[in-house]
Structure formats: C-alpha cells, structure tokens
C-alpha cells in the first residue's frame, strides 16, 4: 500500500509539471485505462444497516453520554482538589 501511495505522489508531481493544455490528454488516457479494467477493481461496499438488529437500537444514547460526562466531570474535579 505504501508503494502505491509513493507512486501516486510521484505521478502527481509529474502532472504538476505538465502544461495545462496537456492535462486533458492525460485525463483521456486515464479514462481509457479505467475503461479497460472496468469491473475488475473492488467495488464500493455499502455499510448501511450493518449494525441493524444487533441490539443497539435499544440503547438510549443521550442517557449513556450524560452518564459518561458525569463520570468524567467527577474524575476531573477530584484531580483538581
């Protein structure tokens, strides 16, 4: 993964050196490459609903946050004494 990031950085540096009128040509070429591999790369995975039915619906988030804040406040006040 790190190699990919390094390659992308190098490509971006080279692109910044190109005259503006050549960027359209680069964009067309990248589009061509993507069209050749269409459907072969990983598709976006939707995570919507992944936690549905796991019991989290019954949690009272506001109550939980309020209790956590109360506990933190007490802890902070004890340190300052």
For the chain, the distance separating the N- and C-terminal CA atoms, rounded to the nearest angstrom, is 49
Q: Which helix (H) or strand (E) holds 34?
A: helix 23-36
Distance, in Å, from the CA atom of 41 to the CA atom of 21, rounded to the nearest integer, reads 30
Q: How confident is the model at residue 13 (pLDDT cuts 50, 70, 90)?
A: very high
Contact criterion met (CB below 8 Å) for 16 and 8 = no
Average pLDDT in the 2-14 region?
91
* The pLDDT value given to residue 1: 58
The tens digit of pLDDT for each residue in 21-61 reads 999 999 999 988 888 877 666 666 778 888 888 887 888 89
pLDDT at 42: 63
């Amino acid at each position: 993964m790190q190699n990919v990031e390094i390659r992308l950085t190098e490509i971006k540096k080279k692109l910044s050196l190109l005259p503006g009128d050549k960027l359209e040509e680069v964009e067309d070429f990248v589009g061509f490459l993507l069209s050749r591999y269409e459907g072969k790369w990983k598709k976006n995975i939707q995570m919507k609903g992944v936690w549905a039915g796991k019991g989290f619906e019954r949690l009272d988030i506001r109550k939980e946050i309020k209790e956590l804040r109360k506990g933190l406040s007490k802890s902070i006040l004890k340190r300052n004494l």
